[in-house]
Amino acid sequence: MLSTMQDVPLTVTRILTHGTQVHGTSRITTWTGEGEPQRRSFAEAGARAAQLAHALHTELGVRDGDRVATLMWNNAEHVEAYYAAPAMGAVLHTLNLRLPVDQLVWIVGHAADRVVIVNGSLLPLLAPLLSRMPSIEHVVVSGPGDRAVLEADPAPGGRRPQVHDYEELIGGRPTSYDWPELDERQAAAMCYTSGTTGDPKGVVYSHRSIYLHSMQANSAESMALTDRDTTLVIVPQFHVNAWGLPHATFMSGVNMLMPDRFLQPKPLAEMIDAERPTHAAAVPSIWQGLLAELAERPRDISCLNQVTVGGSACPPALMVAFDKLGVTVRHAWGMTETSPLGTIACPPAHAIGTDEEFAYRVTQGRFPAGVEARLTGPNGERLPWDGTSAGELEVRGPWIAAAYYGGVDGEPMRPADKFSEDGWLKTGDVGTISPDGYLTLTDRVKDVIKSGGEWISSLELENALMAHPDIAEAAVVAVPDEKWGERPLATVVFKDGVTVDFADLRAFLADRVAKWQLPERWVCTTVVPKTSVGKFDKKVIRRQYADGTLDVTRL
Ligand code: ADP
């Protein structure tokens, strides 16, 4: 028997029309680096999104399913593109501006982007690549930046795309649009994985997946934001839709504070001080930088009730540091393939105020109803949720990818190492799940250290090292070892002006992890190499070790 309920499609369009109408006075504030920030209401941004859609349709000929790329920082214009392209039936493709340029060129070609909207400040990055991006017909430039770099001659035989100024292009056009009725399963946006452990792969989000994910992001179990909040969106809009914030905010009227290109610790501290956001979202490496800045030039950041930390494991020491500043950290886990909210660490009611509370908070968090999880052991066996059996995490749900984009004429790709035969996403993350559904990750399948038949968690060693008062950052990778197969190599970055004897660090670790896990190989460095989205780039460290370019001390 079928239900008697209405079957109304869940679309990005609906989020847009709701946000502009019901929450029309909520604001997007974009940091400009000097003088007053740019302030725009949701109603204004919605009207400009309609103007942009008219321009894309009438002037640039964008049609259903065409890819509209963005190469932009977090700002109001990027939010306008977030709504204009999907709501008119096109597909928003956010480009990661920190990727190696060859990957960027490959991704644009693979997605066959027709239009790219680019921030003027990023033209020096884009201009020299355009002759290698034949699918791009139009470049729309937004914000300050020297347009002259686009005048250079194209490569021999190369075509020059048409260049438009964003404001001139949308100016004078109607501020409402007769948005088409869309199928909720159709593509709304796409994002390629940042390739921490392999080649970039395209994930295509549907209108429905974005709608449902936004509801989850807004739930009390997740970020629980309302129109009384202002969220500082540090996590880039080019990285998994800024963890869903630009959509979740329009659903419930949450004000957005956008840092644009000012992502260094000093301006971030300034904008928190000046604009008093109540929430912020970023990867741990950003927070490490901000805390160092605050240690040097203290500022009051107590306006932040809550910060969401994810993308890589939140070191417990970071959580403690924030606790001391009166800011609650909510640790979350996710991936490009999971939209990204997979888990979030709100402690259960019975643990609040007890000794158990912190232990729950440092886990990757609890699964919401929309994400089903299971653990698979090395031989394909299902492992119990007992908090100790560690296996690869597999997930499924309405905002989890079922395949990767196969290119214009290609079939969707379902590589066997990423999707199980029965359609679950294999995350490549190894961990345990407690009986009450809290995930604790111990490693990535590709990073775990396989030493003499036992697994050593690189994450556990890193967290233990980063609890040392003189260590700013620590990364641990597996290196080949004749006797044990693999052993851990620890690379540490000391805080300014300090050095500690490696033997002392080993002794410090010995109090925290099993003796057979203690690294013999140690490297002191000035910075841990990072990927395009600020995660430790362990591929690079392993390569440096193999090439013999690291100054290794053996204990
Ligand atoms: P990439 O795989 O290219 O780095 P993603 O941003 O999709 O791109 O990364 C997802 C991965 O990041 C996860 O599979 C996991 O390994 C890691 N990750 C994300 N959040 C956390 C977290 N809270 N703790 C540990 N690892 C995390």
Place of tokens 């549907």: 206
What pLDDT does 155 receive? Answer: 61
What pLDDT does 154 receive? Answer: 64
- Residues 179, 185, 186, 188: what is their CA dihedral angle, to the nearest 10 degrees? 70
What pLDDT does 62 receive? Answer: 98
Nearest CA to ligand 1 atom 9: 335
Residue 337 CA: which ligand 1 atom is closest? 7
358 CA → ligand 1 middle, Å: 22
Reference 335, options 398, 243, 415; nearest CA is: 243
What pLDDT does 151 receive? Answer: 83
State in Å, rounded, how far the first CA of the chain is from the last one: 70
The dotted CATH code for 447-554 is 3.30.300.30
Strands 454-456 and 449-451: antiparallel
Type and span of the H or E element at 67:
strand 67-71
40 lines ligand 1 (CB under 6 A): no
What pLDDT does 198 receive? Answer: 66
Report residue 148 CA to chain centroid gap: 32
Digit-coded pLDDT (tens) for 82-104: 999 999 999 999 999 999 899 99
313 lines ligand 1 (CB under 6 A): yes
Instruction: Evaluate whether 282 touches 291 at the Cβ level (below 8 Å).
Output: no
What pLDDT does 532 receive? Answer: 81
- From 363, 429, 442, 462, give the residue whose CB has the most ligand 1 atoms within 8 Å, as the site to mutate: 429
- Catalytic status, residue 530: no
426 CA → ligand 1 middle, Å: 13
Q: Per-residue confidence of the chain (555 residues) as pLDDT tens digits?
A: 999 999 999 999 999 999 999 999 999 999 999 889 999 999 999 999 999 999 999 999 999 999 999 999 999 999 999 999 999 999 999 999 999 899 999 999 999 999 999 999 999 999 999 999 999 999 999 999 999 998 876 666 667 899 999 999 999 999 999 999 999 999 999 999 976 666 789 999 999 999 999 999 999 999 999 999 999 999 999 999 999 999 999 999 999 999 999 999 999 999 999 999 999 999 999 999 999 999 999 998 999 999 999 999 999 999 999 999 999 999 999 999 999 999 999 999 999 999 999 999 999 999 999 999 999 987 789 999 999 999 999 999 999 999 999 998 899 999 999 999 999 999 999 999 999 999 999 988 889 898 887 778 899 999 999 999 999 999 999 999 988 999 999 999 999 888 899 999 999 999 999 899 999 999 999 999 998 878 899 999 999 999 999 999 999
What pLDDT does 195 receive? Answer: 66
The residue type at 173: R
- Catalytic status, residue 520: no
- Catalytic status, residue 460: no
Tokens of 101: 């340029």
32 CA → ligand 1 middle, Å: 30
- Catalytic status, residue 193: yes
441 lines ligand 1 (CB under 6 A): yes
What pLDDT does 397 receive? Answer: 98
What pLDDT does 158 receive? Answer: 66
3-state secondary structure 422-481: CCCEEEEEEEEECCCCEEEEEEECCCCEEECCEEECHHHHHHHHHCCCCEEEEEEEEEEE
DSSP 183-242: -TTSEEEEEE---SSSS--EEEEEHHHHHHHHHHHHSTTTT---TT-EEEE-S-TTSHHH
* Domain boundaries along the sequence of the chain: 447-554
58 CA → ligand 1 middle, Å: 40
Reference 282, options 216, 329, 320; nearest CA is: 329
Bridge partners for 142 per DSSP: 119
Report residue 18 CA to chain centroid gap: 25
311 lines ligand 1 (CB under 6 A): yes
What pLDDT does 534 receive? Answer: 82
User: Other C-beta atoms within 10 Å of 468: how many?
Assistant: 19
Residue 198 CA: which ligand 1 atom is closest? 3
Residue from 193, 230, 338, 531 carrying the catalytic annotation: 193
What pLDDT does 327 receive? Answer: 94
10 CA → ligand 1 middle, Å: 27
What pLDDT does 377 receive? Answer: 86
- From 312, 319, 417, give the residue whose CB has the most ligand 1 atoms within 8 Å, as the site to mutate: 312
What pLDDT does 100 receive? Answer: 87
- From 193, 196, 444, 532, give the residue whose CB has the most ligand 1 atoms within 8 Å, as the site to mutate: 196
